Chain A
Amino acid sequence: MLHYLEQEARKVEKREEHRALIENVSRRKVLGGALVASGFVLSLKILPAGAREPLKPYPTGAEGMSDKTVSDPHVFIAIDKNGDVKIVTHRSEMGTGIRTSLPMVVADEMEADWSRVSLVQAPGDEPKYGNQDTDGSRSMRHFIQPMRECGAAMRQMLEAAAAAKWGVDPALCRAKAHSVVLLDDSKKETGKKIGFGDLAEAAMALPVPARDSLRFKTAGEFTLIGKGETKIADLRNITVGKATYGADVRLPGMKFAVMARPDVLGAKMKKYDATETLKTPGVEKVVEIEGVYAVPRKFHQLGGIAVVAKSTFAAMIGRDALQIEWDEGPNASYDTDAYTKEMAATAAKPGKVIRNEGDVDKAFASAKDVLTVEYHAKHLVQAPMEPLVAVARIKDGKAEIWAPVQSPYGARKDIAEALKMPIEDVTVHVTLLGGGFGRKSKWDFMIEVALLSQKLGGDPVLLQWTREDDTRHSFYHTTSVERIEMGVDDKGKVTGWRHRSVAPSIVSTFAPDSGYQFPIEYGMGFVDVPFDIPNFRCENGQAMAHTRIGWYRSVSNVPRAFAVQSAICELAHKVGRDPKDFLLEVIGPDRRIDLKASGFPEDFWNYGEPYESFPIDTVRLKNVIRLVADKAGWGKKLPEREGLGIAAHRSFASYVATVVHVAIDEDGTIRVPEATTAVDCGFYVNPERIRSQIEGAAVMGMSNALYSGISFKNGAVEQSNFSDYNIATMRNYPKKVTTVIAEPQGPDWHTGGIGEPGVPPFAPALANAIFAATGKRLRNLPMGEKVT
């Protein structure tokens, strides 16, 4: 995400990109030897596609990311003489299972025995490992190919080492289950074999095979990919309390700190009095951390007073005793109620045209009926169970930071700048993340602790954010008004669609705020709605940001899918049609959307993916709708006060459809006995973790739909902790989530994302189910726990 944002802010010229690309490749040549660098960029174009090869290389958006990808086995794999294999995992683990799933890909391609594999978490070093920004549901989407290349190259090196040892044709050597076996001329196993450990040294000394000579496994040869039986690597440590998260890092002599920050964005400290704080037992120091007040704020620290103590608790008590006076500045008037009214007024007027096809005004003028619906959504905070925390130490001119961070290299660059140190002297270690959901891509909390350590003369220090800090000083999911007008003709066909979206934009955090959104946000469920409606118009109304707007799992797709999928269901009911049939009909014929003919903006984002590899394919969207409808028994008779609702949405290059079964208690409490989701994320690796992501997405979808909301009063967040920022609990969550994983129907159903795409369809499916059960239409997020 951030990389795209920076691009947007800087408007990077294509020529510069190209130059960087060339520099990058030549640098790798120097570092890794000519063979290693035999042309990542070129390879995508020159790789021949063997007819029976399951992996036909295709371009991805990884090429547009900083430092792109690396697939050098010397970077990612080490084999010990005893046969133990270490695989580097360079993306951050926040619960998706990626720390396990990408190494699984390497291990499978190289024929390693998974029980002999251990993982090494990479520090933030993108020039070495490729892009590490674990965000945008991109890890598998961008790295399945490089990791397969990496594993296949290693396998071929092991086979070549065995061939040299035996003095035979490498074609007679086949890696199998952690050994290389010798084949006879009819390609049957002879029984002769050598273990990987015995081949390690010789294999690692061989040149890395050129990319176009790699042989990838075929579907029938996989041992791990697609199997669904592989447990996450950290499972045991998690269950015995030995997994290391951010706050679990312990350094000799380490101090504990918390910080007081301004409640209103941009507020500056006028004065403070720490007399009582310094009398608090255990408190050792108070340190002022200067904020950065320049706009755009990016991920700079807010500034404030850090209280350093012998324990976290002492620091918290000390902070309570601080007296601080703030000069609050222009954002002190931010008020959610007033702001929502303004957004609704803006949405009622024409806005900036983002996509236009046909003539929607004409369509409405000649329509039999025009239905206008409006959906509101509050801000959200990511609220991972692990509040923000980081540890820093500066010793002998070297800074080390340990943190649960989604983007360790981005953090490293900004920390180096804040510390005024060369980047080579800054190391960022990645711990496990106790949840991330987008918050831990923003490294303000790491800059704070690095500056604090520097001010303490380099002493090791852990800076803990309290839950209240985490709730009140986030980069918030936007608040929005989505207004949709739909025209139908006398045959019940939808002839016109006008969607006006009004929401403060993420780009305000990175560039001067124009009040308008930008291609990334337009591309998330707004301009990319794949409906077969001849007159289609998307407009964006202005909304200035008064808090730091950031991203939250699924980003703009949350309010957009809620609006679009609720709206089309509302229209189905209005014209007396079954919502599922009507949705399929509105999506229309089998096709890959022709962007130009459909009036898409020229800079259509498509999740950063090249459109040719990742088109908007109505076949895939309709497929998941049919799959989920079948599985959930769409159309079945239900008791009174129960109902089914359906919604479907493409995001992060994956297609998801959800049916929610709702049951309304006598007192109006909304319950979900069952939710069924069909997901098509293309060629997939770890079905067990796909299911867990979909189960989790349903729970987060329920939180978004019913419970969670952040509101502002006098410029400050009104919520503080789980007492007033509510999320789904064991008492009320989708009790039974069934996941149907769609099998790819073609070699070009490429791997899409899985961390985020499950979330967007849940809330509209639930709202549609509530309507089916009660006849009440809920249009504002959060909808509340009861239907009244």
Chain B
Amino acid sequence: MATITVNGESRTFDGDPGTPLLWYLRDEAGLTGTKYGCGQGLCGACTIHLDGVAVRSCMTTIEMADGKSVTTIEGLSPDGEHRVQKAWRELSVPQCGFCQAGQIMQAASLLAKNNAPSDAEIVEEMSGNLCRCGCYQRIHAAVRLAAEGV
């Protein structure tokens, strides 16, 4: 039996401890904001926070999350007004939008540890989050905007 805090709420799970958090969140907890894109930690669409740090939920098992705190896009901000979310809207970043929850969670994790990232640091942190629509230019600009103030 694993106990995980998800968006501030304590939950227990007694299934296969090897289940990736992604599938627990989506299929069991009903939190569908976290997306499946590759299942191999290659695209970043499933990025969530584990104790405040961005991880790929498709590569993070229940076992690895036991006793820890998980934040998903739904829990990033109680009113959806996290500065990264605001910056994303300000610059109209998304096209199809599918990868954006992962992008936003990755950017929020970056800014939580480094409030004034250089361009190189933004690239380094965000480079594992793929966007097939090609919103990278705006993603980069939105991370910068969130850092400097929306």
Contacts and interface: CB of A to CB of B under 8 A. Distances in A.
Contacts of A467: 37-40, 42-43
A231 B135 contact: no
Contacts of A245: 35, 98
B30 A733 contact: no
Contacts of B126: 730
Interface residues of B, number: 59
Contacts of B73: 240-241
A289 B35 CA distance: 27
Contacts of A722: 38, 40, 42-43, 130
Nearest to B101: A241
Contacts of A93: 96
B3 to A, nearest CB: 19
A531 B48 CA distance: 53
Nearest to B36: A247
B50 interface: no
A441 B15 CA distance: 37
A106 B15 CA distance: 51
B134 A695 contact: yes
B114 interface: no
A162 B30 CA distance: 48
B117 interface: no
Interface string A720-733: 01110001111101
Nearest to A462: B27
A51 interface: no
A699 B136 contact: yes
Interface in B98-150: 98-101, 104, 122-123, 126-140
Which of A231, A434, A464, A723 is the most central at the interface, judged by chain B CB atoms within 10 Å of its CB? A434
B42 A236 contact: no
Contact of A727 (B45, B85, B98, B132): B132
Interface residues of A, number: 66
A695 B20 CA distance: 34
B53 to A, nearest CB: 19
Given A250-B32, A466-B39, A733-B137, A385 B92 contact: no
B127 to A, nearest CB: 4
A494 B150 CA distance: 55
Contacts of B99: 385, 434
Interface in B35-68: 35-40, 42-43, 45
Interface stretch (A94-102, A268-276, A361-369, A484-492): A94-102
Nearest to B74: A241
Interface string A259-282: 000000000000000000000011
A466 B42 CA distance: 13
A785 interface: no
A433 to B, nearest CB: 6
Contacts of A736: 137
Given A241-B74, A247-B32, A466-B39, A696 B98 contact: no
Contacts of B31: 241
Given A240-B80, A695-B138, A256 B132 contact: no
A42 to B, nearest CB: 39
Nearest to A243: B97
A115 interface: no
B37 A234 contact: no
B69 interface: no
A314 B26 CA distance: 13
Say whether chain A's binding surface is mostly helix, strand, loop, or mixed.
loop
Contact of B40 (A96, A436, A721, A734): A721
A730 B139 contact: yes
Contacts of A729: 127-128, 130, 136
A696 B135 contact: yes
A699 to B, nearest CB: 3
Contact of A240 (B74, B128, B140): B74
A781 interface: no
A435 B132 contact: yes
B137 A238 contact: no
A235 to B, nearest CB: 5
A62 interface: no
A130 B136 CA distance: 35
A8 interface: no
A723 B42 CA distance: 7
Interface string A433-449: 11111000000000000
Given A239-B104, A247-B36, A312-B36, A700 B95 contact: no
B23 to A, nearest CB: 4
Contact of A733 (B43, B95, B101, B134): B134
Contacts of A541: none
B134 A697 contact: yes
A313 interface: yes
Contacts of A311: 15, 19, 23-24, 27-28
A737 interface: yes
A700 B76 CA distance: 30
Interface in A302-335: 310-314, 316
B15 A281 contact: yes
Given A729-B130, A731-B123, A239 B35 contact: no
B13 to A, nearest CB: 11
Contacts of A310: 27
A313 B23 contact: yes
A435 B16 contact: no
Interface in A216-268: 231-232, 234-236, 238-245, 247-248, 250, 256
Contact of A730 (B37, B77, B129): B129
A326 to B, nearest CB: 23
A733 B80 CA distance: 29
User: Top 10 nearest A-B pairs by Cβ distance?
Assistant: A241-B33, A699-B134, A434-B98, A95-B96, A241-B73, A95-B95, A238-B97, A696-B134, A313-B23, A248-B32
Given A238-B97, A241-B33, A731-B127, 15 more contacts: A234-B94, A240-B33, A242-B33, A247-B36, A248-B32, A386-B35, A434-B99, A688-B92, A721-B40, A722-B38, A723-B40, A728-B136, A730-B127, A730-B129, A734-B137
23 contacts: A94-B96, A232-B92, A239-B85, A239-B89, A240-B80, A241-B33, A250-B32, A281-B16, A311-B28, A313-B19, A384-B98, A385-B131, A437-B132, A467-B40, A467-B42, A467-B43, A696-B135, A722-B38, A728-B136, A731-B127, A733-B136, A733-B137, A736-B137
